[in-house]
Structure 1
């Protein structure tokens, strides 16, 4: 994170010196813009999986459709190591900067709120708590595959693990 400076952004973007500071006067503003851009990149990367999965869930809400959606989303996130590592860096930075924490949490709700709604539709007795557990589980799988000591899980392993988690939350299918 120390390398994220106005000067570094100008150089990486091939812009004249001072360009980044015209958009973001302070380091805090630069971090917020970086996080906003990262959220856009994640939404763009996840859009195909989310659109097809959410369309399928609208037509036929089922646990298996949700499992497929989550497997696809995890595979997309794990495949883009650079973007995922940037998100981890920003998450750690947000632990030290309350103003960034608020932005980070607000951005996270864009991904977490749909999980609450989906789990409610699938019959969760506590969709808020279950969505937190689901997000924590998927984040753990991602972190282990990207920055931990684990390997990237296969689609089959991911599918089985998510199905087992949902069975524990919602009861057997």
Structure 2
């Protein structure tokens, strides 16, 4: 007989089941009983782990951020010594590496993890109606800001915070169009995304 998961493994199983339900059935399909059934756990297991709907939603948001981080956060950044020496070379090489990293991550997300996008939209909309979830959702999302600001810095941005917001806005628009909008049947290839990111960064950075 296969042992039932416990502790962190059970928490992940419950949160993953919650995300699967959100992607397939939307917010109305997310119930404690449905999560038990999807996870293959005894009735009441999800309630024991997350007693309220708020705590279940928070578990889903937390797990979503963990899974998105594996897909979206690039593993390496262009190197620099922080002194400014050789900055011209760093800017040129850095932008190319940033463009490649962003395009690779976004293409991976759009082609292999689009169900996570649907979950994010479901949870983001629910957060607009639940102030307590809004605060949790926003705090969890902050983990993506620092890596993107670091990427903009590596690309030579003089205002990495502001430029990071512009990149986020561009990515969000493209992701929504490809996941739920009129471009859901024509996801751009990685080469197209590289071109788009390169044009965006050239326009912002002026080089």
The answer to whether TM tops 0.5 is: yes
CA-based RMSD of the aligned residues comes to: 1.6
- 1:119–1:131 CA contact under 8 A, matched in 2: yes
Equivalent position to 1:44, from 49, 54, 70? 70
Alignment correspondent of 2:94: 62
- 1:112–1:135 CA contact under 8 A, matched in 2: no
TM-score when normalising by structure 1: 0.89
1:46, CA displacement in angstroms? 4.0
- 2:32–2:46 CA contact under 8 A, matched in 1: yes
Consecutive unaligned residues in structure 1, runs of 5 or more? none
- In 1, Cα distance between the equivalents of 2:28 and 2:136? 19
Consecutive unaligned residues in structure 2, runs of 5 or more? 1-26, 81-89
- Return closer, same or farther for 1:45/1:125 CA change in 2, 3 Å cut-off: closer
- In 1, Cα distance between the equivalents of 2:151 and 2:59? 30
- In 2, Cα distance between the equivalents of 1:94 and 1:11? 25
- In 1, Cα distance between the equivalents of 2:156 and 2:97? 14
Q: Equivalent residues in 2 for 1:89-108 (5 A)?
A: 89-108=122-141
- 1:119–1:127 CA contact under 8 A, matched in 2: yes
1:92, CA displacement in angstroms? 1.1
- In 2, Cα distance between the equivalents of 1:140 and 1:148? 10
Aligned length: 167
The structure richer in helix per residue is 1
- The alignment partner of 2:110 has SS state of helix
Alignment correspondent of 2:167: 134
Alignment correspondent of 1:30: 56
TM-score when normalising by structure 2: 0.75
| Bigger Cα Rg | 2
- In 2, Cα distance between the equivalents of 1:43 and 1:128? 19
Alignment correspondent of 1:12: 38
Q: 4+ residue stretches of structure 1 with deviation over 6 A? A: none
1:82, CA displacement in angstroms? 1.2
Show CA shifts across 1:27-79 (max 9, x none).
010000011111122223346xx21x33xx13666001000010011111102
- The alignment partner of 2:68 has SS state of helix
- In 1, Cα distance between the equivalents of 2:199 and 2:146? 22
